[in-house]
Amino acid sequence: MNKKITLIPGDGIGPEVAQGAVQTLKKVGEKFGHNFGIETVLAGGCAIDACGQALPSETLESCKVSDAVLLGAIGGWKWDNLPGDKRPETALLQLRKELSLFAALRPALLFEDLADACPLKPEIIEGGLDLLVVRELTGGIYYGERGYKETALGKAAYDIELYSEGEVRRIAHVAFSMAMKRKRHVTSVDKANVLESSRLWREVVTQVSKEYPEVTLNHLYVDNAAMQLVRSPRQFDVILTGNLFGDILSDEASVITGSIGMLPSANLSESGFGMYEPVHGSAPDIADQDKANPMAMILSVAMMLRYTFGLTQEADCVENAVKSVLKLGYRTPDIYKEGTSQKLVGTKESIRLITDKL
Ligand code: NAD
């Protein structure tokens, strides 16, 4: 198979973990006889420094003509004082919109060998944890009308949450289709006791559920969902939610798997085109110190192989390599526990160990 992949290493730990993606693809290509052509481009803070724009047009063009996009992470302290519309993270929002990536899949899987890194009590996670957050990514409050106005109490700011039936319907179909391949249960999360937009969300999700009689559906308010995630996370299979609630809940779900450095994600369009990225950000606090966990990035490569290229065996091979390295006790600092037989390794060594197992 010949595939062209655009790689955006980005800022902070992005370029460090992106090396994990490059080396994984090289090894998978050699082992299974594929040719993965990788074009590396700029976006985010590094692109602002190089050419004054968070998303240069050449980067967008490269993404549009590729078969898939891999992204490290974007942003950092250096650019924190720029105005909102000039910040590095605008590149992410633009990429999602321009590439029509309306569906974010964020699996939260607790690896057996990482059970001790989970902050929840052992009895809560007994039997393991495996849930999938399906988050709407190109609508809602992050893309709604925003602005300032004068009020009697001074300057006021607003951001509008707006969802159309069509937007809710297409993300609901993604969630129900995913549930069909899993434990056949969808929990839709909203705030329908307060928000009109949530009441429409709930109505449309309920309509779509009729097309999937094998899948059970329940609805939770977001405050309850946030609580249930730490009290009884095993009740969840697929969590379906909007952009804002999904942002928060998927980060919460990530923590219960031990470390945000373990979590991959896929952002998909209707055609199946995808941008794959770790859930974590650019972690400026540990950048350039060989401390970043590259597993989320490498597991994002596995998701790309599985979902966009249909290479199931290759994806399994990458996931198994990560599991083997964990089983052997190698840990980057975020998942390392002192006083155990675990072996502390840096980013580069972790990448070497994983690619050796492929
Ligand atoms: P973050 O995810 O970068 O870091 C949160 C914490 O998790 C930090 O303590 C960090 O050290 C740790 N961490 C993150 N990834 C890790 C890894 N792979 N290995 C070990 N530890 C890891 O979130 P933040 O600090 O809120 O944001 C930092 C910057 O990243 C901000 O500029 C933010 O806007 C940006 N950001 C970008 C993305 C993205 O590119 N998709 C996502 C989230 C945040």
What averages of pLDDT result for each successive group of 10 residues across the chain (358 residues)? 97 98 98 98 98 97 98 96 91 93 94 87 90 95 95 97 98 97 96 98 98 98 97 96 95 85 94 93 97 98 94 96 96 93 97 98
pLDDT of residue 78: 94
Indicate yes or no: pTM above 0.75: yes
DSSP per-residue codes, 95-113: HHHHTT--EEEEEEE--GG
Residue count of the chain = 358
251 is catalytic: yes
191 is catalytic: yes
What pairing do the DSSP bridges indicate for beta strands 216-221 and 185-190? parallel
What pairing do the DSSP bridges indicate for beta strands 330-331 and 146-151? unpaired
Expressed in angstroms and rounded, the spacing between residue 45 Cα and the centre of ligand 1 is: 14
Look up residue 346 and give its two tokens. 């840096």
Q: Where are the beta strands (DSSP E) in the chain?
A: 2-10, 35-40, 68-73, 103-109, 130-136, 146-151, 154-159, 185-190, 216-221, 238-241, 264-268, 274-278, 330-331, 343-344
**For residue 91, which of 299, 215, 277, 254 has the smallest C-alpha distance?**
277
Q: Which of 80, 223, 285, 288 is catalytic?
A: 223
Is the distance from the beta carbon of residue 92 to the nearest atom of ligand 1 less than 6 Å? yes
What pairing do the DSSP bridges indicate for beta strands 330-331 and 343-344? parallel
357 is catalytic: no
Which residues have CB under 8 Å from 287's CB, separation 6+? 11, 12, 13, 16, 76
What pairing do the DSSP bridges indicate for beta strands 2-10 and 35-40? parallel
pLDDT of residue 127: 87
Look up residue 248 and give its two tokens. 């928060």
Look up residue 267 and give its two tokens. 């952002």
Q: Which of 3, 27, 190, 191 is catalytic?
A: 191
pLDDT of residue 60: 98
CA–CA separation, 91 and 70 (whole Å): 14
